């Protein structure tokens, strides 16, 4: 009996996770999960179930119905859904996509609503309303309205520009065109007008506009080749094939117009590799699967045209279902800034309340007894204090800086353009510039702790290149001359002009191998390249006189292309023959059997009849499986193994090649078993694999190939730099484990010293930890389940490699199988309570297990998750965000990366590939992975430093400005009178102090871009939030408070007993206001000068220009002329000219400025001398580093040869090849043979090799 504890966490423990299988999607049906159970209903039961399903193929729950060429079919009430009250809408989505937020009618109300959701904007709206109440207003209404309109206007313009760009992108996609049958004929129609059930025609090199059922095509048996780069970044072609009945009957336009088939299938979901449905037509039902569906985003290749029926459109397509929810992303600094604004509002309310209480007390003690203060209003002191509370809220409103948000937006906008304009992030090959697709996340680029990267198309180019080989124990591929000596000029490539079939793009530098091939003295070399030319499932076609290959994987294409260049050219094939040009001589061979690759076998073989009638098996596969099947006497076994070690250390993907001769009798016996297995109705794959094992033995080793899975330029250097910046890099890919591990070594994410932890070991570690936590938790479910000790002891470099199946197992994400026949009885309240408690405890343990996994993974320097679904990629990112509270970045290039890109704090798309889905969903995009280091270490770090410096200074200058009112209150009876002129209050943040700090936020840099890249450790400041936090905020508050004290009390003391040159005392309120304001302007502008690290002419001009602007406007506003025009608005007539001609006041201002700034200068000097930051040290030595850089050359990475037992991945596709397709003959354009030739061939039983020169 299973204990209660065990039952809590046993979600589905009926099988060991399979590393080769991509796990199920979250949308899988229970029937599919039942079908996955191993050993369910074996033998007769299985057969009877198959028979039952064949009688009723629509038995499964297929609630999505699509009728061809009948739009009225979708008007039935059953296909409507209620959207609001009695309003109903069709459940079938239109094909138009919409990513924009506004239209001309909704822009103004929606945008204003969004802007007033910001606390500061709403606060100032309330303030404006308060200022319109005469009893409490202490400032003119325009002091708030002008800055508020400026803020709302600038933000609205930016939002409008962003949304117009979205409209343009949507229109570009929605207005693409294709042919749709309307009124019995094909008519050109825009994508947005395509509807479910439409019959469409697609031409070569066009994108598929919706998820469609393939009906027919121009190819034999209605094959259709598609490229899925937009979905998964892979550029190798995949094929789809129509049903035989639609292929035969639906080729003509009239037949397609009359087609009235009904498709019943699964509801729209996110499974890219699954489809279940049934086509009902002409009183027959036909089963449909994923091989008959073309997905939106695919591109038609090598197929002149094809016809299809729209099944899912627009938002219902699988590519859109995989894109995940669009999340509103905000930076960490944004959140912190909001909390600080709330803090300021609380402080403001408390100060206003304190000052209002002070006014109440003052009124009771002094105001009531002072006849000269009587204002003809008999109000109680308490009521006067209440009115003054609101008055102080208005006076002190500048503590909450209204221009803060608009200034932040301007800085981010400018920084985004700096990213767009960066020529060092421009990828000339694809004419692709870096693009900041959002303007709100720039400073977050300087705080990244975890990077989640796709592999195919992101780290790699998905281009395989034949680099080296080992034949008969001899290694080839190093740069050697024709005599076998190493070349002094390694860049000299082999000239393949002697070969008419040579591919001009193929590069090889070993001239010695070419001489050996041409001489014909080494039969093993001839066999080696003959094997590469004959043992594959590649298909050839000729267009414009050029021979082109279509391979199931880029690896196979690279091997066949290599053989082609070395003189062994695969030309064509039929169902049972293959034609090869061997050093200019064409020969056709009978192919007796193709033993196809799969992920369990890790090899493929062909059996051919050679000249003279002898039969030979050629095989290629991973060294681990080939070496087990070699003949005991293989003299070159050790030499080849050494070569494999060398290739592995150079991170090349290896394959072993071998052969064996088969007697006629042995082949006939084996062929009978092969035919029987091929005709098996159940467990066909297992039966075939067993038969293959019988013939693939006692093999003779020929050698090994080494293929380079080409990384993008600069990937290892980028990863190395980012690692030095304390950024952890996780690779999340759908590729096989071996391929992903090999790329890990190629890009130096893994090294020879790295200890790798796999799924099984990880599961055991986590299970042990969970058991220990349970034991510690005891019987109380509320006790702490945390354990802080590390999973791994010692400081060894570690990496985690885990597959999607193990990920589901470890994170307890496996689905429970429903029990079919379960009698349900009414449960008592106690049973319900037990069930709820059991479920709650299971969730708690699941959460703990997930946290433990994240803790374990984060102890590793690198993590590689392979064979994962798009949803799992997003789940891994979400787990790190949830349990580590870390800032994450996801980078990818395909639609399968969109969910991950949207989930991470920052999403980056690789543009310039065929696929643009990732780019459209990303926050930033560029052409190559290597630009990520510049985006983070230069632009990200600078943006973070600039924003932090801007915010610290902004809070400081506003506190220094506002708190003067508080000190003044102690001398004016707490009457809420302002210490400055109204126009100074209005323009202080808008004109007098805004430009210098804006320029620092846009242009400042502590060290240059080159030094930022050279010293990645500078980046950690942002990760640790060292430059802007609550401590820095309160220091700015304190600094501002001290400055305000000096600004107020030094002029106050100077004015107490002073006498001007003309014998008059300049101690009036207006002169004092001008003196304090002038001192403040000098102090805050000189302070930003001290904070500036990178001086330009523009910075200097802004500082001195702001001071000059202040005096210009002040003298203007204090002139008699403007007072005559607007007597109520300008009341400081003549104040500035009279006050500022007194030397005494200038000395007072100089004293105030000196006392404010000298301590700051002293503190900066001491900190740079005694406690310098890393950036200070680098800045001090920048000249030395510049000289070093001029002399420095990039060091070549050195491989450790012969010290590793690691093997790089076998070079095969992730799925079966085209063997079934070739064997069926469906892909071959058949020519009718003469009858006598057919009879002669059947009479002889087997054909001889045919040879032509």
CA gyration radius, the chain: 38
In 445-497, which ranges are continuous DSSP H helix?
none
What letters, b where the CB count within 10 A reaches 16 and e where it falls short, cover 567-582? bbbbbbbbebbbbbbe
Chain length of the chain: 1253
Count of C-beta atoms within a 10 Å radius of residue 994: 20
Indicate the burial class of 1180 (C-beta count within 10 angstroms; 0-12, 13-18, 19 or more).
Answer: exposed
Let me know how many helices (H) and strands (E) the chain has, helices first: 44, 36
- Which residues make beta-bridge pairs with 185? 182
Indicate the burial class of 3 (C-beta count within 10 angstroms; 0-12, 13-18, 19 or more).
Answer: exposed
Phi-psi region of 583 (alpha: psi -120 to 50; beta: other; left: phi over 0): left
Q: Which candidate in 19, 179, 422, 454 is catalytic?
A: 454
- Which residues make beta-bridge pairs with 591? 608
Contacts within 8 Å (CB) and 24+ apart, 610-615: 610/1249, 611/587, 611/1248, 611/1249, 611/1251, 612/1249, 613/664, 613/1246, 613/1248, 614/661, 615/661, 615/662, 615/663, 615/664, 615/667
Please say if 1116 is a catalytic residue.
no
Angle formed at CA 519 by CA 626 and CA 464, multiple of 5 degrees? 45
Count of C-beta atoms within a 10 Å radius of residue 281: 18
Expressed in angstroms, the distance from the first to the final Cα of the chain is: 76
Task: Determine which helix (DSSP H) or strand (DSSP E) holds 909, and give its type and residue range.
Answer: strand 906-910
* Nearest alpha carbon to residue 796 among 852, 764, 752, 730: 752
In 175-273, which ranges are continuous DSSP H helix?
229-232, 244-249, 253-258
Tell me the CA distances in angstroms from 183 to 256, 260, 261, 1032, one per residue in order: 12, 14, 17, 71
Spatial distance between the Cα atoms of 1008 and 1173, rounded to a whole number of angstroms: 15
CB 224 within 8 A of CB 888: no
Count of C-beta atoms within a 10 Å radius of residue 1242: 8
Q: Quick one: angle between helices 403-420 and 142-174, nearest 10? A: 30
Spatial distance between the Cα atoms of 803 and 805, rounded to a whole number of angstroms: 5
What letters, b where the CB count within 10 A reaches 16 and e where it falls short, cover 945-955? bbbbbbbbbbb
CB 604 within 8 A of CB 596: yes
Spatial distance between the Cα atoms of 348 and 386, rounded to a whole number of angstroms: 15
CB 1022 within 8 A of CB 446: yes
Tell me the CA distances in angstroms from 278 to 57, 284, 710, 719, one per residue in order: 7, 10, 42, 48
Spatial distance between the Cα atoms of 673 and 667, rounded to a whole number of angstroms: 10
Q: DSSP string covering 607-638, please?
A: EEE-GGG-EEEEEEE-HHHHGGGB-S--TTHH
Indicate the burial class of 1108 (C-beta count within 10 angstroms; 0-12, 13-18, 19 or more).
Answer: exposed
CA 114, 117, 123, 128 dihedral sign is positive
- To which residue do tokens 């129509």 refer? 242
Diameter of the chain by CA atoms? 135
Question: Under 8 Å CB-to-CB from 780, ≥6 apart: which residues?
Answer: none
Give the catalytic positions in this structure.
Answer: 454
């Amino acid at each position: 009996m299973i204990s209660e504890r065990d039952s809590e966490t046993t979600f589905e423990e009926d099988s060991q996770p399979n590393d080769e299988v991509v796990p199920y999607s979250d949308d899988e049906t229970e029937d599919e999960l039942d079908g996955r159970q191993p050993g369910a209903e074996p033998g007769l039961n299985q057969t009877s179930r198959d028979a039952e399903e064949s009688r009723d193929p629509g038995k499964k729950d297929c609630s999505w119905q699509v009728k061809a060429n009948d739009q009225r079919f979708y008007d039935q009430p059953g296909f409507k859904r209620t959207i609001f009250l009695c309003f109903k809408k069709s459940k079938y989505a239109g094909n138009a996509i919409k990513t924009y937020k506004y239209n001309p009618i909704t822009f103004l109300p929606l945008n204003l609503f969004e802007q007033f959701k910001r606390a500061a904007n709403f606060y100032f709206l309330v303030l404006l309303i308060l200022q319109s109440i005469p009893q409490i207003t202490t400032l003119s209404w325009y002091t708030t309205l002008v800055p508020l309109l400026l803020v709302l206007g600038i933000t609205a313009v930016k939002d409008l520009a962003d949304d117009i760009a979205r409209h343009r992108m949507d229109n570009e996609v929605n207005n693409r065109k294709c042919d749709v049958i309307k009124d019995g004929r094909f008519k050109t129609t825009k994508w947005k007008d395509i509807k479910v059930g439409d019959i469409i025609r697609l031409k070569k090199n066009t994108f598929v506009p919706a998820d469609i059922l393939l009906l027919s095509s121009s190819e034999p048996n209605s094959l259709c080749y598609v490229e899925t780069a937009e979905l998964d970044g892979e550029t190798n072609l995949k094929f789809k094939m129509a049903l035989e009945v639609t292929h035969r009957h639906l080729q003509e336009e009239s037949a397609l117009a009359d087609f009235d088939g009904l498709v019943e299938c699964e509801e729209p979901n996110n499974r890219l590799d699954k489809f279940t449905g049934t086509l009902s037509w002409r009183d027959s039902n036909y089963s449909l699967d994923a091989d008959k569906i073309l997905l939106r985003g695919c591109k038609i290749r090598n197929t002149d045209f094809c016809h299809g029926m729209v099944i899912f459109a627009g938002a219902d397509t699988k590519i859109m279902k995989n894109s995940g929810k669009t999340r509103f992303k905000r930076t960490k600094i944004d959140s912190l800034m909001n909390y600080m604004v709330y803090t300021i509002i609380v402080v403001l309310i408390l100060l206003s309340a304190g000052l209002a209480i002070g006014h109440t007390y003052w009124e009771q003690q002094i105001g009531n007894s002072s006849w000269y203060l009587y204002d003809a209003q008999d109000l109680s002191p308490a009521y006067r204090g209440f009115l003054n509370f609101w008055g102080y809220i208005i006076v002190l409103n500048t503590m909450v800086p209204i221009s803060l948000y608009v200034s932040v937006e301007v800085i981010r906008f400018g920084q985004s353009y700096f990213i767009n304009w960066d020529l060092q992030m421009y990828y000339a090959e694809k004419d692709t510039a870096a693009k900041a697709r959002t303007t709100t996340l720039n400073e977050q680029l300087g705080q990244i702790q975890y990077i989640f990267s796709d592999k195919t198309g992101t780290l790699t180019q998905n281009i395989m290149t034949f680099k080296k080989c080992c034949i008969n124990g001899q290694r080839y591929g190093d740069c050697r001359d024709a005599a076998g000596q190493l070349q002094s000029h390694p860049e000299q490539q082999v000239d393949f002009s002697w070969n008419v079939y040579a591919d001009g793009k193929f590069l090889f530098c070993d001239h010695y191998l070419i001489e050996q091939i041409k001489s014909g003295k080494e039969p093993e070399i001839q066999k080696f390249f003959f094997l590469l030319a004959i043992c594959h499932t590649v298909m050839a076609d000729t267009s414009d006189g050029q021979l082109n290959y279509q391979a199931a994987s880029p690896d196979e294409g690279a091997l066949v292309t290599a053989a082609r260049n070395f003189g062994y050219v695969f030309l064509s094939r039929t169902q049972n023959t293959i034609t090869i040009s061997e050093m200019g001589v064409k020969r056709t061979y009978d192919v007796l059997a193709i033993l196809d690759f799969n992920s369990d076998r890790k090899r493929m073989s062909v059996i051919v009849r050679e000249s003279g009638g002898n039969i030979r098996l050629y095989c290629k596969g991973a060294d681990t499986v080939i070496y087990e099947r070699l003949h005991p006497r293989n003299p070159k076994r050790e030499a080849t193994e050494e070569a494999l070690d060398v290739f592995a250390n150079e991170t090349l993907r290896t394959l072993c090649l071998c052969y064996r001769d088969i007697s006629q009798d042995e082949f006939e016996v084996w062929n009978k078993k092969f035919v029987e297995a091929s005709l098996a109705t159940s467990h066909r794959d297992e039966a075939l694999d067993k038969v293959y094992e019988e013939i693939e033995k006692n093999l003779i080793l020929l050698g090994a190939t080494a293929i380079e899975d080409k990384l993008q330029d600069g990937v290892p250097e980028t990863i190395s730099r980012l690692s030095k910046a304390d950024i952890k890099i996780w690779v999340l890919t759908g590729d096989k484990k071996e391929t992903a591990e090999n790329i890990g070594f190629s890009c130096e994410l893994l090294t020879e010293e790295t200890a790798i932890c796999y799924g099984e070991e990880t599961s055991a570690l986590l299970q042990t930890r969970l058991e220990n936590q349970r034991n510690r938790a005891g019987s109380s479910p509320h006790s702490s389940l945390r354990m802080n000790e590390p999973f791994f002891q010692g400081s060894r470099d570690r990496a985690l490699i885990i597959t999607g199946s193990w990920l589901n197992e470890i994170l307890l994400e496996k689905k429970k199988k429903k029990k079919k026949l379960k009698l349900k009885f009414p449960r008592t309240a106690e049973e319900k309570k037990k069930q709820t408690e059991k479920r709650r405890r299971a969730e708690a343990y699941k959460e703990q297990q997930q946290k433990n996994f994240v803790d374990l993974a984060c102890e590793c320097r690198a993590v590689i998750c392979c064979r994962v679904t798009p949803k799992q990629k997003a789940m891994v990112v979400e787990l790190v965000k949830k349990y580590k509270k870390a800032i994450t970045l996801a980078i990818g290039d395909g639609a399968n990366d969109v969910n991950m890109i949207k989930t991470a704090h920052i999403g980056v798309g690789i543009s310039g590939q065929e696929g643009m889905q990732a780019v459209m969903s990303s926050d930033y995009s560029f052409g190559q992975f290597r630009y990520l280091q510049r985006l983070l270490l230069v632009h990200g770090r600078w943006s973070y430093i600039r924003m932090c410096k801007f915010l610290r200074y902004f809070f400081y200058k506003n506190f220094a400005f506002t708190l003067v009112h508080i000190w003044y209150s102690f001398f004016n009876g707490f009457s809420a009178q302002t210490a400055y002129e109204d126009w100074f209050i209005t323009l202080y943040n808008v004109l007098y102090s805004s430009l210098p700090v804006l320029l620092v936020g846009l242009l400042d840099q502590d060290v240059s871009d080159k030094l930022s890249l050279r010293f990645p450790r500078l980046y950690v400041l942002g990760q640790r939030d060292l430059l802007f936090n609550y401590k820095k905020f309160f220091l700015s508050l304190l600094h501002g408070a001290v400055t305000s004290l000096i600004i107020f009390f030094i002029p106050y003391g100077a004015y107490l007993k002073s006498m001007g040159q003309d014998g008059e005392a300049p101690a009036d309120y207006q002169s004092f206001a001008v003196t304090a304001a002038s001192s403040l302007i000098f102090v805050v502008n000189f302070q930003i000068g001290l904070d500036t690290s990178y001086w330009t002419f523009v910075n200097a001009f802004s500082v001195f220009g702001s001071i000059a602007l202040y005096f210009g406007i002040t003298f203007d506003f204090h002139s008699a002329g403007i007072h005559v025009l607007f007597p109520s608005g300008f009341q400081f007539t003549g104040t500035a000219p009279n006050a500022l001609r007194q030397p005494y006041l200038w000395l007072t201002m100089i004293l105030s400025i000196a006392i404010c700034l000298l301590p700051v200068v002293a503190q900066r000097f001491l900190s740079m001398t005694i406690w310098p930051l890393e950036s200070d040290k680098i800045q001090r030595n920048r000249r030395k580093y510049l000289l070093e850089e001029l002399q420095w050359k990039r060091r070549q990475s050195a491989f450790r040869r012969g010290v590793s037992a690691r093997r790089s991945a076998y070079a095969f596709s992730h799925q079966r090849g085209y063997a079934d397709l070739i064997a069926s003959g469906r892909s071959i354009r058949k020519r009718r043979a003469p009858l006598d030739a057919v009879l002669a061939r059947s009479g002889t039983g087997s054909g001889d090799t045919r040879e032509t020169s």
